[in-house]
Amino acid sequence: MYIDLLSYAIDYASSCGVSYAEARYHLRNITGIVIRGSKVIGVSFRKEEGIGIRVLYKGVLTFTSTNELSRERVREAIDFSIASAKALENIARGRGLSTEVNLGKASYEALASKPFDSKPMDVKIAELKDLWTTANNAVKESKLSSFAIIYNESEEVKEILTSDGAWIRSKIPRISIAINFVLLHPQKGTIQRILDFGSSGGLELINEWKVSEELENEVRAIENVLLRGVPPPKEPIDIVVGSEVVGLLVHESAGHPMEADRIWGREAAQAGESYVKPEMVKHERIGNEHATVIDDPTIPRSNGFYLYDDEGVPARPRYIYLNGIINELLHNRWTAKIFGISSNGAARAMNYASEPIPRMSNTYLAPGDMSFEELIEDINYGIYIKSYMEWNIDDIRWGQRYVGLEAYTIRKGELAEPVRNPVLELTTRAFYSSIVAKSKNLKFYPGTCGKGEPHQGVPVWFGGPEVRLSKMRLGVIRV
């Protein structure tokens, strides 16, 4: 690829007196298809290619980038970085990078058994358009008032070189499908569902996902909720939360507040702060023994997959909550230096024009050992919230609210009538302290995690098992 240009960047920066230099070639090729109803709205092809450069000069870390892959432009970018460091010397000195002894020297890729070009574009479009027919045929008593698909194929290629010995080359193909549909009934109103699929790999994933079958099942289930859903009970009851809701909840209430730069206050003006304080790590209890949350970028075929982060640090599972204890923050080398530890490989950059900052990858609640049937068999009266339609959380990631979409009453250990708009409102500690039992059914869901200023969106998974909570009171949205 561009190893000669990266080597030139490192050599030139070092000759200018920097104590650290990092050059990252970053390419993203993205193909998108947008469909509304049964019509194609657009097909797009986008290429993002360039080099991101960081230097540490007299204790000041700066970042620049260029999309012109020439020595002249790289040299200009480095000169600008050093000039910026000199201007910031009196206010930002002393926040260097952690010293890492196990930086990677490796080349790897996520394999696609069916490459993106193994199927013609017109065939892909025809198959996506068929999903509208599938959804329309599944509707029985309401109307499919809105239907849209966003389909993306992407290939991300990186080559990273640092002055302290890291060299990483990687290629990761990803594919995603987002289906958004709305059902309308004259007397019952409307209900909306967004169904997401996403992983690293190739076209083989589409067959594995069984998109048409999943869509048909979702349409029927959501229509049932719209037409026959009853209000949730007002008294405190046993609650079982589905893996989709659990995954979102751990992403928002465990992953984000455990990002070390957020705790340090770097995102306070844009994204908020964190309830977590540095002195809580390894000491503060946030939940019971069931509360173990893991962030693991090494899961094969995952949406957030990588083996080395964007600073060359080897990736590994991070146990951010361990048996109810706040255990491990997500670090890049900058925050690791501040906290006096080594990085745990959480540095990710969206593209060549983005700096590597602490990010989640695949975040999930560790599963238990029960089947779903065992989880609910002794519940005389309760509620199962399988999926969500909306949510919000405060800016320190403490108070939060999740509105159920597909939900059911549990009667004598069996799922019964659907429930409309149950609201689970609680604090982070209340959720992790209220877990009574967990199923063994670990399931993941794709997303694009947003963070940073300028904004960066990176692919992730979030997931977990079904979780049973101790008795609590639900709210309701009136329609």
Cis bond leading into 232, ω under 30°? no
Q: What is the pTM of this model?
A: 0.96
Q: For residue 475, what pLDDT is reported?
A: 86
Q: Is the pLDDT of residue 338 over 70?
A: yes
pLDDT higher than 90, residue 361: yes
- Across the strands, what pairs with 245? none
Within 88-161, residue ranges assigned H as helices are: 89-92, 121-138
Distance, CA of 403 to CA of 160 (rounded, Å): 42
Q: Over the stretch 241-290, which tens digit does the pLDDT of each residue have?
A: 999 999 999 999 999 999 999 999 887 767 789 999 999 999 999 999 99
User: pLDDT per residue over 427-440, tens digit each?
Assistant: 999 999 999 999 99
What pLDDT is attached to residue 325?
99
Task: Write b or e for each residue in 279-310: b if 16 or more Cβ atoms lie within 10 A of its Cβ, otherwise e.
Answer: ebbeeeebbeebbbbbbbbbbebbbbbbbbbb
Q: How far is it, in rounded angstroms, from Cα 57 to Cα 55? A: 6
In the chain, pLDDT over 90 holds for what percent of residues? Answer: 94
pLDDT the model gives residue 269 = 67
Q: What is the pLDDT of residue 267?
A: 77
- The answer to whether residue 476 scores a pLDDT higher than 80 is no
Average pLDDT over residues 53-62: 95
Q: How confident is the model at residue 388 (pLDDT cuts 50, 70, 90)?
A: very high
**324 pLDDT more than 90:** yes
CB-CB contact of 421 with 270 (8 Å) = no
Please tell me whether residue 399 adopts helix, strand or coil conformation.
strand
Task: Report whether 458 contacts 446 (CB < 8 A).
Answer: no
List, in sequence order, the alpha helices (H) in 41-141: 71-87, 89-92, 121-138
CA distance 64 to 84: 10
What are the two backbone dihedrals, phi and then psi, of residue 40, each rounded to the nearest 5 degrees?
-80, 125
CATH number for the domain whose boundaries are 3-228: 3.30.2290.10
Name the band, by pLDDT with cuts 50, 70 and 90, for residue 168: very high
Q: What share of the chain is helix, strand, coil (3-state, %, to 5)?
A: 25, 40, 35
pLDDT on residue 479: 59
Residue 102 has what pLDDT? Answer: 93
Q: How do residues 185-205 score in pLDDT, each as one tens digit? A: 999 999 999 999 999 999 999
Are the C-beta atoms of 174 and 199 separated by less than 8 Å? yes
From residue 276, give the alpha-carbon distance in Å to each of 254, 359, 365. 10, 16, 18
Over residues 131-158, mean pLDDT: 98
> What are 407's two structure tokens?
């939900």
Q: Quick one: pLDDT band at residue 477, thresholds 50, 70, 90?
A: confident
Domain ranges of the chain: 3-228, 237-476
Q: Measured between alpha carbons, how far is 469 from 1 in angstroms, rounded to an integer?
A: 52
Asked whether residue 473 carries a pLDDT value surpassing 80, the answer given is yes
Write the CB contacts of 14 (distance below 8 Å, at least 6 apart in sequence).
21, 163
The answer to whether 386 touches 409, Cβ cutoff 8 Å, is: no
Measuring CA to CA, which residue among 158, 165, 199 is closest to residue 313?
Answer: 165
Residues whose CB is less than 8 angstroms from the CB of residue 259 and which lie 6 or more positions away in sequence, other chains included: 267, 274, 329, 330, 346, 358, 359, 360, 451
* Average pLDDT of the segment spanning 319-348: 98
Q: At what angle do helices 71-87 and 3-15 cross, to 10 degrees?
A: 40
Q: Which two tokens stand for residue 305?
A: 């997959």
- Give pLDDT, residue 268: 75
Confidence of residue 453 (pLDDT cuts 50, 70, 90): confident
Instruction: Please provide residue 128's backbone torsions phi and psi, each rounded to the nearest 5 degrees.
Output: -70, -40
Q: CA 412 to CA 366: how far, in whole Å?
A: 27
Report how far residue 475's alpha carbon sits from residue 237's, in angstroms, rounded to the nearest whole number: 12
Range scoring the smallest mean pLDDT among 68-77, 268-277, 464-473: 268-277
Mean pLDDT of the region 377-393: 97
Residue 428, judged by CB atoms within 10 A of its CB (0-12, 13-18, 19+), counts as buried
Q: How many CB atoms lie within 10 A of CB 331?
A: 27
The pLDDT of residue 454 is 86
Q: Label residue 232 exposed, middle or buried (CB < 10 Å: 0-12, 13-18, 19+).
A: buried
Looking at residue 478, its pLDDT comes to 66
pLDDT at 444 over 80: yes
Task: Give the number of other Cβ atoms within 10 Å of residue 120's Cβ.
Answer: 9
Q: Over the stretch 87-116, which tens digit does the pLDDT of each residue have?
A: 988 887 667 899 998 999 999 999 999 999
Q: Give 101's contacts (C-beta < 8 A, 6+ positions apart).
A: none
Tell me 420's DSSP state: -
